[in-house]
């Protein structure tokens, strides 16, 4: 395992001159060099062979000592020095000052073929940004991050990847329910992979300190390496104000694309603070995230957000916009002209409306766009909200719905529809009338489609996944892994590589959340304790 090193972040941006690993404010630096903590007895739980392949790591190397040591934090990558990044952030709507990689340590950036990747360990000990916390991560949250990163990738959602999940052999103390009952859990380290882990908060911290030189250096670095298509390289001597505006426009575009995907698959991030917003528009920091089971725009899995539900499913687009405003506030120091930023932000609303509508039309199989499609969509969402319908099962089943199956109430169409209801007996009275009305309208609308039912169904199945990492599924994988059985992790990893395929042998995972999971910690509610 020999990597080609491409450490542009540390080569081009200023380092913290202080090499002591103690919590502190780090000024005028983009990162601090720090070494991962050596694990006592590392053991591999799971490796994403696809992420390994992406990095040029051969199958034969996955069981090597070198792999285990490197990705558990026991050994540095040759010719690379590990570091933690400095960033700030707005948490739950308020400026929180310096945050930084409190429990993430970058091993370095490597290149393979034409791409470069930052390799980052999560849970490998304290850094200058740990603010009094231990820098560690437990097995349960690491299983969730590892599986979900890979599942999101295969769903076609922009995301950081996860190479490996390794037990450290060290115990970690956590108070999972925040009720004064801490307990020891198994510690683990995940190796995340992304072209870059730069966040909105990296820009905000420099702007908040009036450190315009470093803000400019970071922005130039980001544009040069990750947004080179926003400028003509041949014309470039120095970045202009227009380059910064074009960069921001592209960040807004990528962020919008990411959130539209979240809304499409029913993903709730849970902690959309600006320090958890990737500048590349990748889903990052899998913490108390969750998947909509009953369709509910007001739902968030994060218990810390239970009161105001700032990061609820239906609010994610608004929050993305609010976060972009914070980024714009930082970048405006480079141009001293807020107007172009304001314009881009005001376009976001209209852009979202259009993209959301198209995404929903695709989910409903309304490919031959018609003027009143928004009414059909809104009526459906209202029905889903009021009836406790499983989002994934409903949309996947919808692709197979044809008018002939909905003539009388005992017909197969109604039987299938009711299977997506958490309470099939709810199909009565007003609910029944409303659903029948909606289906009538839907089938009339489908007459405007120019393709066969079979073709429509195939196309719908490309945007409506059959399998997602439901919270209870992750919990089953965690419970088994805690007892030393990693087969459920492997099973879910394989299943979720093909979320749009039928995989009928795995139909047990195409099922509503079981009753035991309705109010169980880890399934319907997650704390930030991880
Ligand atoms: P989050 O909201 O989980 O992304 O975390 C917010 C901030 O807290 C980031 O700066 C994290 O690095 C830091 N953090 C979270 N958990 C820990 C931990 N166990 N030890 C040190 N820092 C942490
Ligand atoms: Mg974070």
Mean pLDDT per 10-residue segment, the chain (530 residues): 95 98 98 98 98 97 97 97 98 98 98 97 98 97 98 98 98 91 96 98 98 98 94 77 97 98 98 98 98 97 93 98 98 97 96 97 97 97 96 98 95 96 94 97 97 97 98 97 98 98 98 90 83
pLDDT of residue 529: 83
Q: Are 439 and 397 in contact (CB under 8 A)?
A: no
pLDDT of residue 234: 67
Q: Work out whether the CA dihedral 250, 251, 255, 258 comes out positive or negative.
A: positive
Query: Which tokens hold the place of 21?
Result: 């690993």
Ligand nearest to the backbone CA of 185 = 1
Q: Are 3 and 78 in contact (CB under 8 A)?
A: yes
pLDDT of residue 519: 83
pLDDT of residue 524: 77
Instruction: Please tell me the distance between residue 28's alpha carbon and the centre of ligand 1 in angstroms.
Output: 21
Query: Which tokens hold the place of 108?
Result: 């370095």
Q: What atom in ligand 1 is closest to the CA of residue 276? A: 4
CA distance 89 to 67: 33
Give whole-number Cα distances, 336 to 221, 245, 343, 344, 502, in Å.
Answer: 20, 11, 15, 16, 53
Query: Is there an atom of ligand 1 within 6 Å of 145 CB?
Result: no
pLDDT of residue 497: 98
- Does residue 285 have an active-site annotation? no
CA distance 128 to 20: 8
Query: Is there an atom of ligand 1 within 6 Å of 183 CB?
Result: no
Query: Is there an atom of ligand 1 within 6 Å of 270 CB?
Result: no
Query: Is there an atom of ligand 1 within 6 Å of 102 CB?
Result: yes
pLDDT of residue 177: 85
Q: What is the pTM of this model?
A: 0.97
Q: Which residue, judged by its Cα, is nearest atom 2 of ligand 1? A: 271
DSSP code string of 154-214: HHT--B-EEEEEEEEEEEEEE-TTSSS--EEEEEEEEEEEES---BHHHHHHHHHTT-HHH
Query: Is there an atom of ligand 1 within 6 Å of 122 CB?
Result: no
Q: What atom in ligand 1 is closest to the CA of residue 100? A: 10
């Amino acid at each position: 395992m020999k990597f080609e090193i491409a450490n542009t972040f540390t080569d081009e941006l200023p380092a913290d001159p202080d090499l002591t690993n103690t919590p502190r404010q780090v000024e005028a630096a983009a990162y601090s060099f720090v070494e991962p903590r050596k694990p006592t007895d590392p053991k591999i739980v799971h490796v994403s062979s696809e992420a390994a392949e992406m990095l040029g790591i051969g199958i034969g190397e996955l069981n090597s000592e070198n792999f285990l040591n490197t990705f558990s934090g026991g050994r540095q990558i040759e010719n690379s020095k590990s570091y933690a990044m400095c960033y700030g952030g707005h948490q739950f709507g308020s400026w929180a000052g310096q945050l930084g990689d409190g429990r993430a340590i970058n091993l370095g950036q490597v290149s393979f073929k034409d791409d470069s990747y930052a390799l980052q360990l999560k849970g490998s000990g304290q850094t200058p940004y740990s603010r009094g916390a231990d820098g560690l991560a437990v097995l349960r949250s690491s299983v969730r991050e590892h599986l979900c990163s890979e599942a999101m990738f295969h769903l076609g959602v922009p995301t950081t990847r996860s190479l490996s999940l390794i037990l450290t052999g060290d115990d970690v103390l956590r108070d999972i329910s925040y009720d004064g009952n801490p307990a020891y859990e198994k510690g683990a380290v995940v190796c995340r992979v992304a072209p870059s882990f730069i966040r909105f908060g990296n820009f905000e911290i420099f702007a908040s300190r009036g450190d315009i030189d470093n803000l400019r250096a970071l922005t130039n670095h980001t544009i040069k390496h990750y947004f080179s298509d926003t400028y003509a390289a041949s014309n470039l001597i120095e970045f202009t104000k227009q380059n910064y505006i074009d960069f921001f426009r592209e960040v807004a575009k990528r962020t919008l694309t990411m959130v539209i995907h979240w809304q499409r698959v029913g993903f709730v991030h849970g902690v959309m603070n600006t320090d958890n917003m990737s500048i590349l528009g990748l889903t990052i920091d899998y913490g108390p995230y969750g998947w909509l089971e009953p369709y509910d725009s007001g739902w968030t899995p994060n218990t810390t957000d239970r009161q105001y539900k700032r990061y609820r499913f239906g609010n994610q687009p608004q929050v993305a916009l609010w976060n972009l405003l914070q980024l714009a506030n930082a970048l405006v120091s480079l141009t001293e002209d807020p107007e172009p930023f304001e314009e881009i932000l005001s376009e976001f609303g209209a852009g979202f409306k259009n993209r959301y509508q198209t995404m929903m039309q695709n989910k409903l199989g309304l490919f031959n766009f018609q003027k009143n499609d928004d009414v059909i969509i809104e009526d459906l969402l209202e029905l889903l909200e009021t009836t406790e319908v499983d989002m994934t099962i409903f949309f996947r089943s919808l692709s197979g719905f044809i008018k002939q199956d909905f003539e009388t109430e005992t017909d197969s169409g109604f039987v299938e529809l009711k299977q997506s209801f958490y309470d099939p007996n709810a199909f009565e009275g007003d609910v029944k009338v409303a659903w029948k009305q909606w289906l009538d309208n839907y089938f009339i609308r489908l007459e405007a489609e120019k393709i066969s039912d079979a073709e429509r169904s195939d196309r719908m199945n490309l945007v409506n996944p059959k399998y997602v990492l439901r919270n209870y599924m992750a919990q089953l994988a965690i419970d088994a892994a805690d007892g030393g059985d990693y087969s459920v992790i492997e099973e879910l990893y394989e299943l979720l590589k093909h979320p749009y395929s039928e995989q009928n042998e795995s139909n047990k995972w195409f099922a509503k959340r079981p009753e035991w999971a309705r109010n169980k910690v880890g399934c319907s509610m997650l704390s930030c304790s991880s």
